[in-house]
Chains A and B, each alone.
Chain A
């Protein structure tokens, strides 16, 4: 970064990255509060935001622990990992943009999430893509971690969280992550099927397991590729980089601003 003069495209990428970081950081508060409400302490909450650093998985982990306690630990871990599997797709996509040696890739992997990928793929120039990725990733990291601490401290002092409706806030937070993904028939069908399966399994199996059972809906529908858009999409909804472009772009477009 010795070059001072930047093109308009690069300045736009920086601005978008910072804006996305500020908006995303704000809901780190809700994660911090929900995490301590689920029974984790402030330090455990801080480690989750710093090391795991992928919001959906963090919410999933504390969500399962909130309903099942420490006994649901293995299921909570499995939920978080499955939900984080999309980040591997983002990494594959970002690798050529990031370039560089092993150290740079490790740093890039740390901040490879919905938001940094979305900002990068929204740019057209290669330099702007790279800049957008790093600025958005770092801005979200700083904001998310700072606000997690704020939320954890506030949550710690609240006492009975149900009185403040924090349990409903968790469901609303998941809905906010899901909403931008419900653009086509296939994901909508999967969402409905997964909700039905999870609810039906709730009285039958230990807490957390219904969520994993619902994941099978995605595997079945995805493997068979049913409910795909019928006409006008060669390869049945496939393409160059299936899902990643549309999905993350939709998230920045609606979810974060």
Chain B
């Protein structure tokens, strides 16, 4: 699988998902379970990605500069600092910790 295969397959699949919704009868939304699972799926995947991005190093789990960076990010989101500022601040914390270590 080349990078182009991955990019194109994933892009077309994600675009198709959006189209499917326009072909589905609205009654689907009246059943709570599928909608609830889809929303929780978003939460689970985002949370898992955070965990892996923060603690994963290939197949190892490590604690490094990413952990304080994420804690700072959480703190900033809690006081409603805008997304782009938080992302830059998190990168700055990780870079600073690495430069000092």
Contact = CB atoms under 8 A, between A and B. Distances in A.
Contacts of B18: 54, 84, 87-88, 90-91, 109-110, 112
Contacts of A26: 83-84
A167 to B, nearest CB: 6
Contacts of A194: 43-45, 47-48, 51
Nearest to B42: A86
Interface string B54-92: 111011110001100110011001001011101111111
B36 A238 contact: yes
A254 B82 CA distance: 8
Contacts of A150: none
A256 interface: yes
Q: Decide if the interface of chain A is mainly helix, strand, loop or mixed.
A: helix
B23 to A, nearest CB: 8
Contact of A47 (B11, B69, B70): B11
Given A30-B84, A109-B19, A195 B47 contact: yes
A129 to B, nearest CB: 15
Interface in A134-187: 162-179, 181-182, 186-187
A174 B53 contact: yes
A51 B12 contact: yes
Nearest to B24: A92
B10 A77 contact: yes
11 contacts: A29-B84, A53-B15, A74-B1, A84-B14, A87-B14, A92-B29, A93-B21, A108-B22, A168-B66, A175-B73, A194-B43
